[in-house]
Amino acid sequence: MKDLRCEKLASILLNHSLKVKPGENLVIRSNYNGKPLVDEVYKQAIKAGLNVFTHVLMNDHAKFFMENATQTQLENANIFLDTVYEKADAFLVIESPDNVKHLSKVDSEKNMQYNKAASPLIRKITAKKWVMTNFPTHAFAQEAEMSLEEYEDMLFDATIVDYKQMDKDMDKIIDIFDKADTVRIVGKDTDLTFSIKGRKGIKCSGENNIPDGEVFYAPITNSANGHIYYEFPGIRYGVQVDGIRLEFKDGKVVKATADKNEEFLNKILDSDEGSRYLGEFGIGLNYGIQKFIKNILFDEKIGGTIHLAVGNAYEDSGGENRSVVHWDMIKELRVDGEIYADGRLVQKNGTFIYE
């Protein structure tokens, strides 16, 4: 039986997130498991007068390519898609894997080479209108330690919300941090200070991510000093890194340790010149998302947490740090956590304090 929630979500993606117009060119990029949502988006887009191209991804193909492609093949990885993506006005990316760890055994160096080769295509996406979402799969449900039905309910409850009201509510957060020069994060094994002087916050209320619910800033590249411990694991390329501890000096991670997969952590941090500097300071504001489920699209929005990304800064945030890496790491502040803006306590144990 047709799930009417797909119909509602498709409408949000097209009309709120992408704000599509008749005659525009839309690319739907999805794994094959996302077919029910792809179908609904496709039908609504055609009825709305759009030109639609569906790009179906094969996880096994990507893995095989990473492991076997020559340097020449890597350089030509996007040869067929360059023209299509260049002509697009809007992109919808639907993540729906059948195995979230299918790349975990691929050599990290090959994975990074693949991502470097793919970065021009990603830049084409982010230069246009774009939005990313998830579709429920058994792989996502298993990772979240839920049944598929429980995961479906959680996902649709988190994605089908009033994003216009969410946007209005974020103005109070913007008002606090846009005026601030320095931010200090205090928590378990954590005391970290950095500058956001002159930077303006970006409200994330359903334009690029569904679900959504964060405000983020680009820290001044050389400003971070102190140390931070992440209660939640960092996950990249299907590899889980537990107990991450980072020490910063003049913006750079000068020491990185972990309870599990420490070597992998440092290999990613050594990807390029920018990968040991902060690219993002994000404030989780979706209090409807409470549980960490090992899915960054949800986890970075958890109300009462913050996340700091090492690596690339988004250009629209004013950040100048550039890297092939953008790795969000989530800090728990709902227990014994504090955020200070220019020395004033503005959040305690996950709850904001307004003047």
Name the CATH superfamily housing domain 4-160: Thermophilic metalloprotease (M29) (3.40.1830.10)
How much is the pLDDT for 131?
97
Structure tokens at 334: 């709902």
Give 6-34 pLDDT, tens digit per residue. Answer: 999 999 999 999 999 999 999 999 999 99
CA-closest candidate to residue 336, choices 170, 227, 191, 193? 191
36-47 mean pLDDT: 97
Give the length of the chain: 355
- For position 1, what pLDDT does the model report? 53
Question: Is the Cβ–Cβ distance between 154 and 146 less than 8 Å?
Answer: yes
- The ranges assigned to domains in the chain are 4-160, 164-352
Peptide bond into 211 cis (omega under 30): yes
What integer pLDDT is reported at residue 108 of this predicted model?
Answer: 76
User: Can you count the helices (H) and strands (E) in the chain?
Assistant: 12, 20
Q: Across residues 103-110, what is the average pLDDT?
A: 80
pTM for this one? 0.84
Binned at pLDDT 50, 70 and 90, residue 2 comes out as low
Q: Please give the distance of CA 172 from its chain centroid, rounded to a whole number.
A: 23
pLDDT at 181: 98
Q: What is the Cα–Cα distance from 351 to 146, expressed in whole angstroms? A: 28
Name every residue whose Cβ is closer than 8 Å to that of residue 121 and which is 6 or more positions away in sequence.
Answer: 78, 81, 82, 85
Residue 264, CA atoms < 13 Å, CB-side half-sphere: 23
Neighbour-count burial for 115-150, b at 16+ CB within 10 Å, e otherwise: eebbeeebebbeebbbbbbbbbbebbbebbebeeee
Is 184 a residue whose pLDDT tops 90?
yes
**Is the confidence at residue 162, as pLDDT, over 90?**
yes
DSSP string, 123-162: HHHHTSEEEEEE---HHHHHHTT--HHHHHHHHHHHHSS-
Q: What is the pLDDT of residue 57?
A: 87
pLDDT at 194 over 60: yes
Distance, in Å, from the CA atom of 56 to the CA atom of 54, rounded to the nearest integer, reads 6
Quote the CA–CA distance of 158 and 167 in Å, as a whole number: 15
Band the pLDDT of 75: cuts 50, 70, 90. Answer: confident
Output the CA angle 335-163-282, nearest 5 degrees: 40
Lowest mean per-residue pLDDT among 55-59, 87-91, 181-185: 55-59
Count Cβ atoms within 10 A of the Cβ of residue 272 and give its class: 0-12 exposed, 13-18 middle, 19 or more buried.
middle
pLDDT band at 288 (very low <50, low <70, confident <90, very high): confident
What is the mean pLDDT of the segment spanning 44-66? 92
- Segment holding 269, helix H or strand E: helix 262-269
Q: What value does the mean pLDDT take over residues 249-254?
A: 98
